[in-house]
Structure 1
Amino acid sequence: MPTYLTIDLGGTKIATGFVTLDDVGGTPVVEDLRTIPTEAARGGDDILRRLAALAADRVRERDGLAGVGIGSAGVVADGTIIAATDLIPRWTGQRVADALAEATGLGVGMVNDVVAHGLGEAHHGAGRGHACILSIGVGTGIGGALIEDGHPVTGAHAVAGHIGHIAHGLGRGVRCSCGTDCGHIEPVASGTGLAALYNLMKDDATPAVAGGKDVSELAAGGDAFAAEVIARSARALGEALGGAVNLLDPDVVVVSGSVAESGALWWDALRAGFADSAMALTRAIPLLPGELGGAAPLIGAAVAAAQVIGEHACPQHPSIASI
């Protein structure tokens, strides 16, 4: 059974681990997890240098590795970051897969971090057994991935799946991470967006909150206004998801991330908005919580590496890099 060094690189932390994939479809084994801070403010060149050194060190810890898999923040094409937000300064243009291949001497499979999450859930989590999966990650931001027949569909410009940037009226006038204020769903329905919406809706006498976790804690403590904000935010996201399934018609939608752990209030509002927005033939598409938690992007990175390095590479999908 092949074992891969896997990496999940985000704006806050870089997680690494060894993932063993069962050739006959059993549950992957994730071992020896380690995390270091990304220290994004130091910029892309510094991050890539430290990432390559980390990968080289980790490869020396384990004999017989089949390759390296990485899911990274940013838009990924051919192992290179072709676009990124200011969350990681000067990350655009970094040739990540090349650097890792040189540092480790191994083949590298690289995808966007949310695509990695979707691959994990599609192959070994809540989407397993379905041909077409729309995977949504609702955390600090909102990302998505469309996985069809086990492979990511990345689109002509490698941005397919960016569901956080679907238009919704609730977001109009609220600045999105992509730079627009025309009304995207992410700035009012992500974890960061939940806090922004609370602060926009509150009266002058109500203290501002610092993050979405604060809103969830207030609601859990019985605060009616916080509960209203969560319900309104989740309903809007559900309406956006309804529009997405009307366009894409997947077999199932898998919803993961820290905000998706907000409980029944959030899920009930999400499903209500979805039911109102989805067409009659798509309304029955199930919205399922993810099953793999934080292991999903590491498992998905291993799947990406296996698809590149093995005989079943899928060259028509440019976000998977062959080395």
Structure 2
Amino acid sequence: MATYLTVDLGGTKIATGFVTLDDAGQAAPVVEDLRSVPTEAPRGGDDILRRLAALVADRVRDRDGLAGVGIGSAGVVADGTIISSTDLIPGWTGQRVAETLAETTGLPVGMVNDVVAHGLGEAHHGAGRGHARVLSVGVGTGIGGAIIVDGRPVTGAHAVAGHIGHIAHGLGRGVRCSCGTLAGHIEPVASGTGLATLYNLMKDDAVAEVASGKDVSDLAAAGDAFATEVIARSARALGEALGGAVNLLDPDAVVVSGSVAGSGAPWWDALRAGFADGAMALTRTIPLLPGALGGAAPLVGAAVAAAQAVG
């Protein structure tokens, strides 16, 4: 058994916890002593890294015998450095996070992108366990993904492999994506934010606008036919995009998680229908599995990344 301090750093909060992994892989991970602080992203990357280092140093003092530190961070990660990030965290690009934390703690540090951490958690200890090739898809505020093969992430030539939210789909044409394109990505019409965008684009003038994807889900749960139609159209489009993705990648399983994936049976039914239409005959049998770890997945995955860094 080995215990790691783990970090999940996003645009809103920095979550930390201690995760104990069974070296033999028999026992479930133990996640404990969870704490979080605001990221305070507008203060910029230098300030965030300074506060992160202080937080990690304090947390390391809370626990003896740690094997290392694992971190999943927003942004594109390569060799422990943020090589690209959005304006969500100003000045985050270029931050040498793993090196700073290793110097601060004297411990080995494993660092991956936050969505990759989620995928590692699900592949090793969640719904993807037992599958050699896993495509992990997170559908929340945005849409992210990770490709895990034989337990390790496939990051690609530019460390961006798995960005499934930026696969093209006709439903998104003309809708601005978070990456800036209007060419038609799936994220701006199928994420949580995208549900609200699609609802407001599809509604007639007599219907009030919604502020969030949760508003759409709440309306559908209350029996609103139009909101139900929007959710089905959005989920079906995502399913078609996933069908194209498995035609390219041919994984053993697709694990789908995130807040939008909790929308219930109508969302899953539409997702699977779109997937069946988009996938070829041989890939149509690939299972779409709900994530099993919930909010613990990124911390569990960060621990896996730390264990892999240790060796």
Map 1:24-43 → 2, pairs under 5 A: 24-25=24-25, 26-43=27-44
Q: Secondary structure at the match of 1:126?
A: coil
Q: Secondary structure at the match of 2:284?
A: coil
Give the paired residue count.
310
Q: Structure 1 residue 22 and structure 2 residue 37: aligned?
A: no
Measured after TM superposition, the shift of residue 191 of structure 1 is 0.4
TM-score (normalizing by structure 2): 0.99
Summarize deviations over 1:47-68 as a string: whole Å, max 9, x none: 1111111000000000010000
Q: Equivalents in 2 of 1:67, 1:262: separation in Å?
A: 36
Summarize deviations over 1:66-92 as a string: whole Å, max 9, x none: 000000011000000001111111111
What's 1:149 paired with?
150
Q: Equivalents in 1 of 2:52, 2:216: separation in Å?
A: 34
Map 1:201-280 → 2, pairs under 5 A: 201-280=202-281
Measured after TM superposition, the shift of residue 262 of structure 1 is 0.2
Residue identity opposite 1:160 in structure 2: A
Q: Equivalents in 1 of 2:39, 2:259: separation in Å?
A: 19
What's 1:185 paired with?
186
- How large is the RMSD of aligned CA atoms in angstroms? 0.6
Q: Equivalents in 2 of 1:103, 1:208: separation in Å?
A: 48
Residue identity opposite 2:17 in structure 1: G
What's 1:62 paired with?
63
TM-score (normalizing by structure 1): 0.95
What's 1:53 paired with?
54
What's 1:125 paired with?
126
Residue identity opposite 1:4 in structure 2: Y
What's 1:12 paired with?
12
Residue identity opposite 2:235 in structure 1: A
Q: Structure 1 residue 78 and structure 2 residue 79: aligned?
A: yes
Residue identity opposite 1:40 in structure 2: A
Q: Equivalents in 2 of 1:291, 1:155: separation in Å?
A: 26
Residue identity opposite 2:143 in structure 1: I
Measured after TM superposition, the shift of residue 98 of structure 1 is 1.0
Which has the higher mean CA deviation after the structures are superposed, 241-250 or 21-30? 21-30
Give structure 2 stretches of 5+ with no counterpart.
none
What's 1:194 paired with?
195
Give structure 1 stretches of 5+ with no counterpart.
311-323
Identity %: 86
Measured after TM superposition, the shift of residue 163 of structure 1 is 0.1
Q: Secondary structure at the match of 1:167?
A: coil
What's 1:319 paired with?
none
Q: Secondary structure at the match of 1:147?
A: strand
Large movers: runs of 4+ above 2 Å: none
